[in-house]
Amino acid sequence: MTDDRTRLLDRIAALEAEVARLRASAFEPSEPTVVRVPPEVAPPFEAATATMRDYFRRIQIDPARALIGLHDERYVLVRASAFSIDFFDTLVQLYADRGEEEARAIARGFLFDIAHTIGLHDARTMHDKLGSRDALEKLSSGPVHFAFTGWATVDIKSESIPVQSEDFCLVYDHPYSFEAASFVRAGRTSDRPVCIMNAGYSSGWCEESFGLELTAVEVTCKAKGDPACRFVMAPPSRIVERVRTHFGIDVGAPGTKGLEIPAYFERKRAEEQLRTSLRMLQDAQDELVRKERLATVGLMVSGVAHEINTPLGVAVTAMSVAVDEHAALAAKFDAGKLTKQDLRHFLERTAQANQLVQANLERAAAQVTNFKRVSVDQVTHERRVIDLGAYVQQTLDTLRPVIRSSRLAIEVVAHGDLVVSTSPGAIAQVLANFVTNTAAHGRGEDADPSSPLDVRIELARIAPDRVRLRYEDRGRGMSSEVAAQAFHPFFTTARGRGGTGLGLHIVHALVVDVLGGRIELDSAPGAGVRFEVDLDVGEG
């Protein structure tokens, strides 16, 4: 029994030794160093190699738990060609409609950005684990980690300047690059460098190590027949200069096809600039829409002013009659010639004048009240209860000068009970845009400008909570191509003749966003236009 126990313990010890040997040999380099660097900076890289060798010897592999682990970090094995060839080819096919060159550029951008981000975060994690503080010390663990995880080995050249400033420059080879090796193994050749992820990862790691924005470009590549995969890394503002200095190549010059600077930061800035431009464009469009809406109110102001002038003119004339009669009566009184007949005449004339003054001032006051209500509604877009038929007529009253000068003959037909809760200001703006659109563009070029242009506005309740406003004119109409774009912002057939292309766009926005409805346009050349607007309303 003792001998069996001894043999079992010996066997366990042997197995443990074998496991330890296998773990130790799993990441045992075939050469003493895994990174080649200039002698003057070798010490931190040698220390990083020893530390990383010990780190990777503690690997845990348990397929039953899908585990490949180092300390508390989980790693994932991925086929090299899955990224370097398969993923790249899939992206190129996905964007094939953009053309081959643009599709390849998009695919390269994806791979570079992914690798740059992985490199940046791997560096951050490893720096914390190793307690790295100095920038060169932080950099040194990168190439070692790079080699132990199968990306490539690193050979840093003596002309490199690893400093924490805009003068930073790294010139280096990636022997055994997984990307170039995948191309060679697959029997594929390339007319441009292919080690995109190598460039992205290394620049991401160095960016985190030195606290600088950095990018890297592969200048020569084994996949295109060059003797080495060689890179240069620098701040984005200096990278073109560094390629010229160290390789004698002007990026973008004839004969340098395929040599492209990865645009991680430039693309990010371009996206930010695009977002800023879009915000500015939206702000400008919002301002134009606001001014267009105010222009509608201004049109109503001029209409009301014109309409008020007539009753005020009558009132002023009537008052002048009363003043003249008063002066005549006073003169006769002073001369001692006043008679009962003169007094009766005075009372009759002044009574008539007073009636005219009162009637016309009330008419003017009603115009002001109507306009005030319509204009305030347009500014606030508040909901309130209105009689839709009466409100439409009030709105048309404010547009009377436009209607009269354009010789529009507008008929309003209201069916049934139209007392509803809605946003009347939005309705007024919709109507004003319809009317001004007809006035400006309704007549054909050969139409007689002195003949009336018929317009019909029909209102009806089509459901307890829904009303329909149908606006039709019998004018020139639109082609199907024009009608299809009528609601698009800035689309106009009157460019250069005062058209902004915002009128019907505003109508669509008001109907959908403010009134909670829908709008349809039906038109044909020579057959006029018909707008059908269905609105959600509350009970009156």
404-419 pLDDT tens trace? 888 899 999 999 889 9
Euclidean distance between CA atoms 16 and 336, whole angstroms: 144
Q: What's residue 378's pLDDT? A: 52
pLDDT digits over 211-230, tens only? 999 999 999 999 999 999 99
Higher pLDDT, 202 or 294: 202
Which of the four pLDDT bands, split at 50, 70 and 90, describes residue 342?
Answer: confident
Pick the CATH number of 31-262 from 1.20.80.10, 3.50.40.10, 3.30.1380.20, 3.40.50.2300: 3.30.1380.20
Residue 28 Cα distances to 58, 143, 150, angstroms: 12, 16, 13
Write down the pTM of the prediction. Answer: 0.52
pLDDT digits over 130-172, tens only? 888 899 999 999 999 999 999 999 999 999 999 999 999 999 9
Q: What's residue 253's pLDDT? A: 58
Q: What's residue 496's pLDDT? A: 46
Which residue, among 185, 270, 179, has the nearest Cα to 231 in the 3D structure? Answer: 179
Number of other CB atoms surrounding residue 447 within 10 Å: 12
In this prediction, residues 519-527 reach a mean pLDDT of 90
Question: What ranges in 335-409 are assigned the alpha helix state H?
Answer: 340-380, 388-398, 400-405
Q: How far separated are the first and last CA of the chain, in Å rounded?
A: 101
Lowest mean pLDDT, pick from 187-201, 311-325, 466-480: 311-325
Q: Identify the three-state secondary structure at position 413.
A: strand
Q: Identify the three-state secondary structure at position 61.
A: strand
Q: What's residue 31's pLDDT? A: 75
Pick the CATH number of 381-540 from 3.60.20.10, 3.30.565.10, 3.40.50.10540, 3.40.50.300: 3.30.565.10
pLDDT(461) > 90: yes
What are the sequence ranges of the domains in the chain? 31-262, 381-540
Lowest mean pLDDT, pick from 70-84, 152-166, 376-390, 496-510: 496-510
